Amino acid sequence: MPQSATWSDDERRQFVDDGVLIRRGLVHGTVLSKARELVGGWLNEAYNPAQLTAYTERSFAPELEEHPDLLALYQRSGLVELSGDLLRPATTAGVTRAQIQIRLPHGAQQPVKAMHVDGVSCPHLEPRDLRTFTFIVGVVLEGGATADAGALHYVPGGHHRMASHFAEDWVLGQPAQTPDDIDAQDGIAFTAEPGDVVVMHHLVPHRVGINTSSTPRVMAYFRVSHAQHPDLALRALSDPWLEYPVLAALARPGTV
């Protein structure tokens, strides 16, 4: 049975509280299998171990980021509709690239990603050039559903703490992305099977765990932005609902 292409009221409130939503088994069938085959083929045939740090910091399989079989994970799974529903009546900018993140198995010598929020620690950037977005969508392609198998770890509700941090203690260009109390947290592991989807507010701090399993953990990520995000980016760091018209009302104190 197809899953709903909208979020329920309970899910909206959960996103306000936690900054994270999960849909199990949303991506399936040939859309999932083609993407898995594509990335699996790249890993077997084109992966260059000498580029492991660059892949980890940016994206694995960078030459495939605009491949139709990867974009189909977002465009042909209901995620376009779910993304639009989360921001309505505002609109989303088009998503034209996928990012592939792989945590290699058996504790490979792969850089560890500490707690962070994406795109806010580049000293050379002007405010309009912040490499931020509104929320991220992650689709599991491969990997075991255990916390120690290279899972994404996130801090539920951490977007509230980060918003106050950006409002009170942060200046554009400083190297530290998260405050000490966030850095000290392990986060909750997104334990998931292929086809499961996580939607995460940009301000939710997160890290990536070491993969001690025998199977690569492969995620495809899509960065979704409000259509006017370039104009709102700096303000959105301290106002987590600036780009979410409907959710802004839910987030007001006293709203039931």
Residue 120 backbone dihedrals phi, psi, to 5 degrees:
-125, 15
Predicted confidence (pLDDT) at residue 226 exceeds the cutoff of 50? yes
pLDDT tens readout for residues 17-58: 999 999 999 999 999 999 999 999 999 999 999 999 999 989
Mean pLDDT on 226-252: 93
Q: Which CATH class is domain 10-251?
A: mainly beta
**How many whole angstroms separate alpha carbon 211 and alpha carbon 31?**
26
pLDDT category at 125 given cuts 50, 70, 90 is low
pLDDT score at 129: 65
By percentage, how much of the chain surpasses pLDDT 70? 94
Residue 1 has pLDDT above 90, yes or no: no
Tokens of 131: 């490499």
Structure tokens at 119: 């795109």
Write down the pLDDT at residue 122. Answer: 55
Q: What is the mean pLDDT of the chain?
A: 91
Q: What is the pLDDT of residue 256?
A: 43
Q: Which residue has the higher pLDDT, 7 or 119?
A: 7
| pTM of the shown model | 0.93
Query: pLDDT per residue over 195-224, tens digit each?
Result: 999 999 999 999 998 899 999 999 999 999
Q: Considering Cα of 210, then 183, then 160, then 125, what sign does the dihedral take?
A: negative
Distance (Å, rounded) from C-alpha 224 to C-alpha 202?
9
Query: 67-71, 187-191, 245-249: which range is least confident on average?
Result: 245-249
Average pLDDT for 87-108: 93
User: What secondary structure letter does DSSP report for 38?
Assistant: H
16 has a pLDDT exceeding 60 = yes
b/e 36-72 (16+ beta carbons within 10 angstroms → b): bebbeebbeeeeeeeebeebbeebbbeebbebebbbb
Could you tell me if 230 and 128 are in contact, meaning their C-beta atoms sit under 8 angstroms apart? yes
Q: Please name the residues in contact with 211: beta carbons below 8 A apart, sequence gap of 6 or more.
A: 103, 104, 105, 106, 107, 108, 143, 148, 149, 150, 217
Work out the pLDDT band at 81, boundaries 50, 70, 90: very high
pLDDT for 131-144, tens place per residue?
899 999 999 999 98
Which pLDDT score, from 0 to 100, does residue 127 have? 53
Mean pLDDT value across residues 232-251: 93
Domains of the chain, residue spans: 10-251
